[in-house]
Amino acid sequence: MAIAVRNLTKLYGSEKAVNDISFDVKTGEILGFLGPNGAGKTTTMKIITCYMPPTSGKVEVEGLDISEHSFEVRKKIGYLPEMNPLYLDMNVVEYLDYSARLHGLNNALLRSRLKEMIDVCGIADVRHKDIGELSKGFRQRVGLAQAMIHDPEVLILDEPTSGLDPNQIVEIRNLIRQLGRAKTVVLSTHILSEVQATCDRVIIINEGSIVADGTLEQLQQDFRGSEKISLEIKASTANAMTAMVPKFKEMAHVDSVEYGGQDGDLHKFSILTEKGFDIREEIFRRAVSEGWVLIEMSRKATSLEEVFRKLTTADAMNGKE
């Protein structure tokens, strides 16, 4: 197990920033650590990386307790904080050389890692520029190179795409996916599209507590509400509201039917069904028996955004969802 967190709690005065959380991260896994601002994501990351001590609980990285083996743990972790701590008056090569030497690299190994990180992170064209002259996208790449220069087993990335433009986000996202082939990655973010695009598994934290843990498919299944099925049907009927809608409403497990209008002989419908029931085969059979031509049928899956809102809004926390 790359990371094992057990009953982790962090207090700031009387406020619980992290409240008795436990989770594991498997070797080679990309974990999305999701939550709204102030949920406890960054605090958890800082504890795992030995940046701050926990109030109580236990964390192990590659089998080493962070409290007892802090120095050894830091050798195994690459950390990109939310506020990328770069020396703006250094050029890229100087900064990476400095970072590598802090980790004890020298001579041929240092030169080899410098070259590899410059290539992997796509910063060859700016390697001799001062960091202060770089765009935010390139600064993030330099930050990632710094985090990986010592070839750590575990990468902790806190909001790695914050403030980037869409093109830069895609570039960093692809880089994280590439890194995930060889590293264990914990990606802390509140940007849901990042998790969907890069992560094998999702943990959602809210108000210091874990409220969900699983693959995206598992979360969608566990927190799915009514199914929505969209239909487009060709039928030569004068009044679909009286001739077609009742046929759908009488089907088992249908909650509601909404008629979306028509264009010539084409009629559109939205059907909401009870949770956990897939009635698409029954819709197909009904269309055949009525002599309708089924042009299109699609089922909308529960999105990560919907799961996130169910678990982190005030109404959800108060049991009103």
Model pLDDT, residue 219: 87
- Between CA 106 and CA 170 the distance in angstroms is 33
Enumerate residues 6+ apart whose C-beta is below 8 A from 162.
Answer: 82, 191
Model pLDDT, residue 320: 39
- CATH annotation of 227-300: 3.30.70.3190
CATH 3.40.50.300-classified regions of the chain: 3-222
The alpha carbon dihedral of 206, 211, 214, 218 has a sign of: negative
Model pLDDT, residue 314: 58
Q: Flag residues of the chain having pLDDT under 50.
A: 315, 317, 319-321
Q: Which DSSP string corresponds to 13-51?
A: TTEEEEEEEEEEE-TT-EEEEE--TTSSHHHHHHHHTTS
Name which of 199, 203, 202, 86 is nearest 134 in CA terms.
Answer: 86
Model pLDDT, residue 292: 95
Model pLDDT, residue 321: 43
pLDDT, tens digit, for every residue of 100-134?
999 999 999 999 999 999 998 889 999 999 999 99
Model pLDDT, residue 40: 94
Model pLDDT, residue 193: 80
Give me the sheet containing 293-300, strands edge to edge: 254-263, 266-273, 227-234, 293-300
| Global model pTM greater than 0.95 | no
- Between CA 204 and CA 5 the distance in angstroms is 15
Name which of 221, 222, 164, 218 is nearest 193 in CA terms.
Answer: 164
Model pLDDT, residue 178: 83
Model pLDDT, residue 225: 67
Cβ atoms of 152 and 161 within 8 Å: the answer is: no
Architecture of domain 3-222: 3-Layer(aba) Sandwich (3.40)
CATH 3.30.70.3190-classified regions of the chain: 227-300
